[in-house]
Structure 1
Amino acid sequence: MDTTSTHLPLQQILMRLTLLPVLAASLIGLVRFRHLPPNLRYLAAGVGFFLLPMGLLGLLLLVLHRNNLFLMPIYTLGELGILAAVYHRTLHSVFFTRLMLWLTAGFASYAVVDLLAATMLTRFRPGQQVLQSVLILAMVGFYFRQLLNELQVKRLWQEPMFWVSAGLCIYFLGYLQIALFSNYLLRYSRQLNMNIWAVHSLLFIVLYLCYCRALWVSPKS
Structure 2
Amino acid sequence: MFDYFIANFSWQSIAWLPIGMVLLTCPLAVRRYRRLSPGLRYLALLVCFDALMEITCSVFFNILQSSNLFLFPLITVGELLLLALAYRQVLQSATFNRVVPWVLGLFGAYAVFETILELHTIRYAVSLGIISDLALIGLAGLYFRKLLNELQVERLQADPFFWVSVALIGHSLGDLLITLSTNYLAAHYSLQLQRFLILGVRNIFNFLLYASYFLALAMRPLPAKSLSVQPG
Is this a same-fold pair by TM over 0.5? yes
Output the amino acid matched with 1:158: A
Aligned residue number for residue 218 of structure 2: 216
CA distance in 1 between counterparts of 2:87 and 2:42 reads 10
Structure number with greater CO (CA < 8 Å, separation at least 6) is: 2
Shift of 1:182: 1.2
Q: Output the aligned Cα RMSD.
A: 1.4
Note if 1:94 corresponds to 2:94. yes
Aligned residue number for residue 52 of structure 1: 51
Deviations 1:1-38 (A, max 9, x none): xxxxxxx9521121122101111221211121122101
Output the amino acid matched with 2:188: Y
CA distance in 1 between counterparts of 2:46 and 2:82 reads 6
Deviations 1:62-85 (A, max 9, x none): 112211111101100100101010
Aligned residue number for residue 10 of structure 2: 10
Deviations 1:163-206 (A, max 9, x none): 11111111001001111111221232212211112111111111
Aligned residue number for residue 194 of structure 1: 195
CA distance in 1 between counterparts of 2:16 and 2:60 reads 12
> Do the aligned partners of 2:47 and 2:213 also contact (CA within 8 Å) in 1?
no
Count matched residues: 213
SS in 2 for 1:10: coil
Output the amino acid matched with 1:140: A
* % identity of equivalent residues: 35
Aligned residue number for residue 41 of structure 1: 41
With normalisation by structure 2, the TM-score equals 0.88
Aligned residue number for residue 5 of structure 2: none
> Do the aligned partners of 2:19 and 2:54 also contact (CA within 8 Å) in 1?
yes
With normalisation by structure 1, the TM-score equals 0.92
Unaligned segments of structure 1, at least 5 residues: 1-7
**Mapping 1:71-86, distance limit 5 Å:** 71-86=71-86
SS in 2 for 1:127: helix
SS in 2 for 1:172: helix
Unaligned segments of structure 2, at least 5 residues: 1-7, 226-232
CA distance in 1 between counterparts of 2:9 and 2:174 reads 22
